[in-house]
Amino acid sequence: MTGPTTSCPPDVLWLGLDRAADSWWPLLDARERRRARALPCPLVRRRFIVRRGMVKQVLAHRTGLPPAELTIHTDARGRPTVTAYPRLRFSVSHRGPLAVLAVSGNGSQVGVDVERVSGHRVTPRILAYTLTPSERHFLAGLPSRERIRAFHAVWTAKEAVAKATGRDLASCFTRIDVTLGPAGRHGGPSDGQHLARDLTRPSAAWIVTRPAAPLPGYATALVTLPTSQEERP
């Protein structure tokens, strides 16, 4: 297997979403405002407006465009893009009051994910369809608390790979195998780099890093896909 390669690391910014939406609403375009109005929950709606406005403000700083004139599209694989700036790549993830934005300016695709660690997700049914056999074997040997943490380390890594490559997340459950070594305290996964491998393509592997969240109880993952590794559809 060819060793995984990395590119210049993207910038990672953490966004606090629990703030008034009034100042961010003018930055949204007509399509984004329709989407916001369609959200049934006021809290979810407010956080969406704040998140979108903050992301556009960051991207506007990178491009020189006024935030209200910046339009976010998606490419053929569903990845966000600013059409006039093809080398500007970014990925956004959010959970509760927290969002994370990864931005690359050199054309490298990026994928980032943040999840709140919770034992409610770690059920036999979910483990069965989201993990590879080797991942299930690794988690089975961990104490309950560390198993929960390890599961979220695997889950966020697969989400990050899916976002960077534009793959369907469901296919990543069975095709992407995440190696969680070396072990941290109590035999659980460390907080350093992990490796995600494509079981169907031995040459494809990605280094997964873990940006430190500003709030406790969150799992994170970041994957950078160098331009040379841009996948064919």
Return d(Cα 25, Cα 32) in angstroms, integer: 9
Phi, psi of 139 (to 5 degrees): -65, -35
Structural domains of the chain in order of their starting residue, each with its CATH number: 11-107 (3.90.470.20), 111-226 (3.90.470.20)
CB atoms within 10 A of CB 113: 28
Q: 3-state DSSP call for residue 107?
A: coil
Question: Rounded to two decimals, what is the model's pTM?
Answer: 0.90
pLDDT number for residue 132: 97
pLDDT number for residue 226: 74
pLDDT number for residue 204: 85
pLDDT number for residue 188: 45
pLDDT number for residue 9: 83
pLDDT number for residue 233: 43
pLDDT number for residue 155: 97
pLDDT number for residue 2: 44
pLDDT tens, the chain, 233 aa long: 345 545 578 999 999 999 999 999 999 999 999 999 999 999 999 999 999 999 999 999 999 999 999 999 999 999 999 988 989 999 999 999 999 999 999 999 999 999 999 999 899 999 999 999 999 999 999 999 999 999 999 999 999 999 999 999 999 999 999 998 654 443 445 556 799 999 999 888 999 999 999 999 999 999 998 765 555 44
Return d(Cα 201, Cα 150) in angstroms, integer: 24
Return d(Cα 81, Cα 79) in angstroms, integer: 6
Q: 3-state DSSP call for residue 166?
A: coil
Q: 3-state DSSP call for residue 185?
A: helix
pLDDT number for residue 183: 44
